[in-house]
Amino acid sequence: MLVAVDSSGSYANLILPKALQGARLSARDRAFATELTYGTLRAQGSLDHLLTPYLSRRLEDLDAEVRAALRLGAYQLWRTRVPAHAAVWQTVALAPRRARGLVNAVLRKVATAVEGADPLRLADVNDPLDRLVLETAHPRWIVDAYDDALGGDLAETTLALAADDTRPTVHLAALPGRLTPSALAAESGGRVGELSPYAVYLDEGGDPGAFASIRAGAARVQDEGSQLCAIALHRAVGEPATGDRAPIVDLAAGPGGKAALLAALISGERPFAAAELRPHRAKLVRQTGVGPVVVADGRRPPFAPGTAAGVLLDAPCTGLGALRRRPEARWRRQPTDLAGLVELQRALLTASLELVRPGGVVGYVVCSPHLAEAVVAPELYVNFDLVDVPALLGLGDDARAADTQGRRLQLWPHRHGTDAMSMTILRRR
Question: Per the domain annotation, does 120 fall within a domain?
Answer: no
Question: Per the domain annotation, does 89 fall within a domain?
Answer: yes
Q: Tell me: the pLDDT tens digits for 379-422?
A: 999 999 999 999 999 998 999 998 888 899 999 999 999 999 99
Same domain, 8 and 82: yes
Residues of the chain under the 70 pLDDT cut = none
Q: Indicate which residues carry an active-site annotation.
A: 367
Same domain, 298 and 343: yes
Same domain, 184 and 86: no
Full domain range(s) for residue 139: 125-163
- pLDDT given at position 207: 84
3-state class (DSSP) for residue 356 = strand
- How many domains does one find in the chain? 4
3-state class (DSSP) for residue 424 = strand
Apex 343 CA angle, 151 and 254, nearest 5? 95
Same domain, 199 and 301: no
The answer to whether the bond into 255 is cis (omega within 30° of 0) is: yes
Q: Give the C-alpha distances (Å, rounded to integers) separating 308 from 135, 382, 384.
A: 48, 19, 15
Q: Tell me: the pLDDT tens digits for 60-96?
A: 999 999 999 999 999 999 999 999 999 999 999 999 9
Same domain, 241 and 184: no
Same domain, 260 and 334: yes
Q: pTM for this structure?
A: 0.94
Mean predicted lDDT score pLDDT of the chain: 96
Q: Do residues 326 and 165 touch, judged by C-beta distance below 8 A? A: no
Q: Tell me: the pLDDT tens digits for 12-40?
A: 999 999 999 889 999 899 999 999 999 99
